[in-house]
Structure 1
Amino acid sequence: MNIPGTFGRDIAEVLADPGPRRQPMAGFDADYHDIVHYILTCTHRIWEQKDIGLIESHYAADCPIWTGAGPAQGVAGVVAGTLRTLAAFPDRTLIGEAVIWSGNERDGFLSSHRIISTATHHGAGEFGPGTGRRIAFLTIADCLCRANLIVEEWLVRDNSHIVLQLGLSPRGVAAATPPTAAARQWWASEFARVRSTLALATGDARPDATADPQAFVHWFAGTVLARRRLAWMRQAYAPAATQAAPGGRRLIGHGEIIGWWTAFLSNFGDAQLVVDHVAAQPVSADPSDGIDIAWRWTLAGHHDGPALYGTPSGREVVVLGVTHWRIVGGVIAAEAIVFDELAILRQVMVPA
């Protein structure tokens, strides 16, 4: 089954796709040819074409949306959030860098859609009054889709990068937008879930990322990260691998990538991590182009280190993250990690 991804395809080509349906998609509109085409096309129609009402026929009425800042539920909230974002960034353009999916029409498709957005901050919104500044930022939306509807979504956005490009302070914005009671309750439940989950049972030997993506993800999460065997990242990454990390960080090579992971983990000395979902798809029909892997994860730990998020507070912290890998020759050639650093700052700054 050949389901074209985003590699080498312009959105105009995607939208003009005249081909027949490429996979069984019971209940989906007839003009969607496959799950990648569905995600890219409806995203373009809603955001670039401003067909915001399309959300009502593409989201379940009670769809839960999970973000680092807390949960939301219902299609009305999605419509309202889209309107607010477009009011602040009316020229926002979304470039789909990858759609990495798993599943089927019976159980549902789970798509992990990585987007680089460009936008001009013209209007007032969650980041204050318009500044006129031009920005770019990463977002990943994991969507569970059944019968033409998104029935659950996990949304992560590099909010600290947005804030920094607008000339603002992440700590200042976090302090000015304290968490809701619903967010605090969700963080507590997620902290308990992660801390009560058994550690991943993984060995020292690195699995073949191309042959067994799931085992490779579990080895990386359970051995390299959970057991802090960070030197083994040299086995996992190509020497000239690239990494996009929160805050707009762009890193290259073993030294910089291992350095970022070291700094991040050092903030939460007792951190535990669970892998919530893994998907993998070939980049193209040419095996030499490699495969793409998406994995969603949740980290829970106490803020006991000062590296990135200020003076240790001892607070419980939950991080909802999604990582995308381009695997070439069995190792990571490119990595994109997205989570909300403003949500972390709200947790370490919130009064006990």
Structure 2
Amino acid sequence: MMTESESCKANLPFLLPERPNARRIRKVDTRELKQAGGPRTMPMRGFEDSYTDIVDYIVRITEEIWAGRGIGRIYDTYDAGCVVYSALSTIRSVEDVVANTLTGIDQVADGESHHLNVAWSGDDEEGYYTSHLGFHLSTNSRDTMFGPASGRRVGRFFVADCITRDNRIHTEWLMRDNGAAVRAMGYDIHEVARRLADSPSGERSFVVPATRLEGQAPRKLYEGPTDTIEGWVTHHFQNIWNMRRLDHVFQHYAPHAIAHWCGGRVAHGRRNIQALLIHLLASVPDSVVRVDHVSWSDETDGVIVAVRWVLEGRSRSGGFLGSLPSGLPVSILGSTHLRFDGPYIVEEWSIFDEVGTLMNAYRGS
């Protein structure tokens, strides 16, 4: 009899390349994840001996730093000149990571994190790439950049994409569902974004929205190979997101699929997933999405493919981004994790920072 994982992997729409095994974390109690995973299963040159694989490393350092309050472990696990990109800011040193972590933990004293998935790619020579999907729950008992303490319970998804070499993270992309957090605190998301846009800011990234035309010709459906993970992902985002072929949702998603999106939005079934995608695209109707990285995990309940992407365009009032005025430049740094059962997606998490996105749009960046 096949295991749950073997059953889910049967008839995948792409081929899985051979690579070393990594620790599975789904359906595993956090107390068990904190423990050393056993013998090393992949090359980990330059990493501390206690880590068995790159997934074990990411989960355990997160637990050590945030749950165990071993904040000084950041000096062991982040490069001195590391760069962390997010919609709200860009920071460029390990000291800034330590400072932000101290502030973050102080604001969520009773916070708890749940590890949902860690997809990965790469090796110990060029560096391992990981995409860590999780859920954080806490009480808003301290004032934050979003507003005064509300005393309310706040839950939000997060995705941290990291490149790690020789035991140290040197580049990170951080996507937090701050839209869900701000709404849970009881604040108006646009009021918060406008206030942040008017405040002094650190380093900002300037993005020129891509055109939806290639010369004078309209964009074309992806017609390349789809038997690799990268090819399938390109096909998915080009045809559904860029070409607006929402009918292809029926080809890629199972009838019972569920999608978890930022802001606490959940869509059940293909038609509702179509509606959620249309809701986003309607607010940036000329947008183009660019896939920047693809990684994957072979988990207990199926293969999960993680995609880091950027969507760029100009706003139109209404839709997903709400009352944002029309004509403003919009750049969304996002991550999507797709869980497969056979040929179909059965679960999706698409996470980006609505607050940071709106803040940058109001700034005109």
Alpha-carbon distance change, 295 to 145 in structure 1, aligned in 2, over 3 angstroms: same
Q: Specify which structure has the bigger relative contact order, considering alpha-carbon pairs within 8 angstroms and separated by 6 or more residues.
A: 2
Partner deviation per Cα, 1:113-140 (whole Å, 9 max, x = no partner)? 0010111111122222222211211000
Give the partner amino acid of 2:208. F
Q: Secondary structure at the match of 1:155?
A: strand
- Distance of 2:325 and 2:68 partners within structure 1: 45
More displaced, 11-20 or 97-106? 11-20
**Structure 1 segment 182-261 matched on structure 2, within 5 A:** 182-184=202-204, 186=205, 188=206, 190-191=207-208, 203=222, 207=226, 212-261=228-277
Rounded to whole Å, the distance in 2 between the matches of 1:25 and 1:218 is 30
| Per-residue deviation, residues 189-242 of structure 1 (Å, max 9, x unmatched) | x336x55997997536893xxx52211110011111111111111111111111
Indicate whether 1:151 and 2:164 are aligned.
no
Q: Which amino acid aligns with 1:283?
A: E
| 1:331 to 2:344 alignment | yes
Matched, 1:170 2:182: no
Q: Is the 8 A contact 1:84 1:125 kept in 2?
A: no
Superposed CA offset, 1:231-254 (max 9, x none): 111111111111111111111111
Residue pairs, 1:58-69, within 5 angstroms:
58-69=77-88
Give the aligned residue type for 1:227. Answer: M
CA distance in 2, matches of 1:241, 1:191: 35
Q: Is the 8 A contact 1:137 1:161 kept in 2?
A: yes
Tell me which residue corresponds to 1:343.
356
Alignment CA distance shift 1:263-1:97 (3 Å) = same
Counterpart CA distance in 1 for 2:247 and 2:179 is 28
Q: C-alpha separation between the residues in 2 aligned to 1:6 and 1:197?
A: 42
Note closer, same or farther for the CA distance 1:303–1:180 as it changes in structure 2 (3 Å cut).
farther
Cα offset, 1:263, TM superposition: 1.0
- Between 1:1-10 and 1:87-96, the stretch displaced more is 1-10
CA shift digits 1:152-203 (9 cap, x unpaired): 000000001000111111011112212655554x1x2x336x5599799753
Return the letter of the residue paired with 1:203. Y
Alignment of 1:275 with 2:291, yes or no, is yes
For residues 302 and 180 of structure 1, the distance between their equivalents in structure 2, rounded to whole angstroms, comes to: 24
**SS, match of residue 320 in structure 2:** coil
Asked whether 1:302 is paired with 2:314, we answer yes
For 2:187 and 2:324, locate their aligned partners in 1 and report how far apart those are by CA, in whole Å.
20
Residue 134 of structure 2, aligned match among 115, 119, 140:
115
User: Unmatched 5+ residue regions in structure 2?
Assistant: 1-19
Letter in 1 for 2:295: A
Q: 5+ residue gaps in structure 1?
A: none
Task: Give the letter for the 2:26 counterpart.
Answer: F
TM-score, scaled to structure 2 = 0.88
Deviating beyond 6 angstroms after TM superposition, the runs of 4 or more aligned structure 1 residues are 196-201
- Are the equivalent residues in 1 in contact too, given 2:336–2:349 (CA < 8 A)? yes
* Paired-residue identity, %: 31
> 1:197·1:274 contact (CA, 8 Å) conserved in 2?
no
Offset at residue 348 of structure 1 (A): 3.2
Q: CA RMSD in A?
A: 2.2
Correspondence for 2:33: 14
Tell me which amino acid in the other structure corresponds to 1:239: P
Aligned length: 341
1:80 aligned to which of 83, 99, 102: 99
- Kept after mapping to 2: 8 A contact 1:241/1:252: yes
Residue type at the aligned position of 1:221: F
**Partners of 1:315 and 1:347 within 8 A in 2:** no
- 1:270-310: CA deviations, max 9, x gaps? 111111000122113xxxx4211000001110113421321
Pairwise CA distance, 1:2 = 2.4
Aligned AA for 1:131?
A: S
Alignment of 1:46 onto 2:65? yes
